[in-house]
Amino acid sequence: MKLKKIDKLIKFDLPEANIVVKGWVRTKRNSKKFSFIEINDGSCLKNMQVIADESLSDYNEIKKITIGSSVAVYGNKIKSKGQGQKWEIQADRIDIFSIAHHSFPLQKKRHTDEFLRTIAHLRPRTNKYGAIFRIRSELSYAIHKFFKDKGFTYIHSPIITALDCEGAGDMFKVTTVDMEKPSLKEGSVEYSQNFFGKEAKLTVSGQLSAEMFAMALGEVYTFGPTFRAENSNTTRHVAEFWMVEPEIAFYDLTDTMCLAEEFIKYLTQYVISECFDDIELFAKFVDKKLIATLEKIISSDFIRIAYGDAVDILNSSETKFQYDISFGNDLQSEHERYLTEIHFKKPVIVYNYPKTVKPFYMRLNDDNKTVAAMDVLVPRIGEIIGGGQREERLEILLERMGEIGLSKEEYWWYVDSRKFGSTPHSGFGLGFERLIMLLTGVGNIRDVIPFPRTPNNIEF
C-alpha cells in the first residue's frame, strides 16, 4: 500500500492499484448502496472522490462520517463513471482518525471573508484559502529562485533594531522593562534596565543592513517580516508583513527599474505556470478580469515617467481628486491608481521624486531638487515597489543626514560604507502581501496572511 498525494494521483493519468490517501472529508453523499466521499489533502485544489460501498465491513461506521472528519482510504484508483472527475478511488477499507464534531463551521455553503477571518485557523481548509496559501508559498519560492539564479546572496537582516530607518513611520517598541514599575530617570525610562541596554524597536526595513552586505557581496536581497505600528484600518495595511528588498552594488536607477520590471513579470509568469488551477479559482470567483490583468503585466512594457511629468498628467486630467497634487507633494493612492488604471492602463514606474517626499538615503539628482527614487505602480494596488539609487557620495549623504537631524555618530557604520570603497548602488522594496493581492485579485490584505496583525487584533 503506497501513500499518495491527491495532486500526484490526478497528474498520473493511469489507474493505480493498492494506494492510500489520507485527508479530510469535504463533502459526502450516502445513497442506498454507496457513499460518495470527497477527500482533500491540501496538496491541491481538487478533491478525490471515494466510493465506499455497503460491502465494506464497517460500512455502518463509514455512514456516520461528517464533513471535516479525517480519514485514511485504502483502495484502487480507477476511471470514474461519474461526471466532474476523471479518476476516483474504489475503497477497500476506510480508517477513521476522527469524526468532526457537528459544530464544524465549514459546512458546504458559502462563507463571507469577514466570517472566515474569525476562524483563521480553519479557513485554509476552504478552497479559496487553501489556494491563497499555496500561492503564497509558491511565490516565496519563486522569489528565492529568481535571485538565486542571478547569483544574489540572501541576507537575514535584523528584526530587532535601535534604528529608525525611514525617519518616519510609527514603530513598535521591544522591551523587557517591567512596564508596571519602569525605573525612570528625570521622567525618562532608564533603558539600561532593558535587555539591550537601550531602546529597541521592530524593524521597518532591512535596507541599511542590506546596503552593508551589497558593499561586500555585490548583489544581495532580504526577505523577511517588517512592522508598522500605524493605526490604519484599510484593506492594504497591516502591522506585520513580509518585504523583499534587493540591494545591488554598481546598479544605477535605470538598472533598478529594469530589475523591478523583470521581477514582477517573472513572478506573474511563475504563478501562471505553476499554480494555474489555484489562479483559475480566483479568476472565476474573485476577479473576472484577473487573467487579462496578469497577461497584461507579462506582455506590456512598463511605462517610465518622471514624477514631474506624472504631476502634469494628473493636473490636466478631468478627474476630480480628493487631494490636490502639485510638484513637491507625494502622490496619493488615488493619483497612483489614476495613472496606472485610467491613464496608462498598465504598470507605471514613476521616478525622480522631489527630495522632500523621499528618505535621506536617496541619491540627490543634479537639479538639487529631486532624487533618483522610483515607485512601481500597478492597477488595483497602487504602489507595489518603492526604491531607487542610494546616495553614495559621503559629503552629500552627511549633508542630507544633517538636514533631518540624523546623528552621524549613531549611524557611524552607515557612514563608514561611504568612506571605504563606496560605489553607486541601488535597490528596492516589494511588499509581498500586495504582490499576492495583485496576482490573485484578493481585495483585503488580511486575507493573504495566515494570521494577520491589525489594530486590536492579535488573535491566534
272 sits near a copy of itself (criterion: CB under 8 A): no
Distance in angstroms (rounded) separating the CA atoms of residues 459 and 118: 9
27 sits near a copy of itself (criterion: CB under 8 A): no
* Farthest CA pair distance, the chain: 85
Distance in angstroms (rounded) separating the CA atoms of residues 169 and 203: 11
Interface residues for a copy of itself in 173-192 (CB under 8 A)?
173-177, 179-180, 182, 184, 187-189
**Grid coordinates belonging to 414:** 552607515
154 sits near a copy of itself (criterion: CB under 8 A): yes
Distance in angstroms (rounded) separating the CA atoms of residues 22 and 26: 13
115 sits near a copy of itself (criterion: CB under 8 A): no
43 sits near a copy of itself (criterion: CB under 8 A): yes
Distance in angstroms (rounded) separating the CA atoms of residues 185 and 19: 70
For a copy of itself, which residue of 34, 141, 276, 321 counts as binding (CB under 8 A)? 141
Q: Which is nearer to a copy of itself, 133 or 344 (CB)?
A: 133
449 sits near a copy of itself (criterion: CB under 8 A): yes
231 sits near a copy of itself (criterion: CB under 8 A): yes
For a copy of itself, which residue of 116, 212, 264, 371 counts as binding (CB under 8 A)? 212
End-to-end CA distance of the chain: 38
For a copy of itself, which residue of 19, 78, 229, 272 counts as binding (CB under 8 A)? 229
417 sits near a copy of itself (criterion: CB under 8 A): yes
For a copy of itself, which residue of 47, 205, 209, 426 counts as binding (CB under 8 A)? 209
Sequence-distant (6+) residues with CB within 8 A of 14 are none
Q: Which is nearer to a copy of itself, 199 or 341 (CB)?
A: 199
Minimal distance, residue 29 CB to a copy of itself, in Å = 19
Interface residues for a copy of itself in 232-251 (CB under 8 A)?
239-240, 242, 249-250
CB 200 within 8 A of CB 194: yes
Q: How distant is the alpha carbon of residue 380 from its chain centre?
A: 15
Minimal distance, residue 129 CB to a copy of itself, in Å = 8
84 sits near a copy of itself (criterion: CB under 8 A): no
> By C-alpha distance, which of 346, 349, 441 is closest to 386?
349
C-alpha distances out from residue 442 to 17, 43, 273, Å: 40, 21, 19
Q: Which is nearer to a copy of itself, 196 or 313 (CB)?
A: 196
Exposed/middle/buried for residue 425 (C-beta within 10 Å: 0-12, 13-18, 19+):
buried
- Looking at the DSSP bridge assignments, the partners of residue 447 are none
**Grid coordinates belonging to 152:** 544574489
CB 282 within 8 A of CB 293: no
Q: Which is nearer to a copy of itself, 139 or 362 (CB)?
A: 139
The residue type found at 280 is: E
Minimal distance, residue 6 CB to a copy of itself, in Å = 9
Q: Which is nearer to a copy of itself, 314 or 397 (CB)?
A: 397
407 sits near a copy of itself (criterion: CB under 8 A): no
392 sits near a copy of itself (criterion: CB under 8 A): yes
170 sits near a copy of itself (criterion: CB under 8 A): yes
Minimal distance, residue 176 CB to a copy of itself, in Å = 5
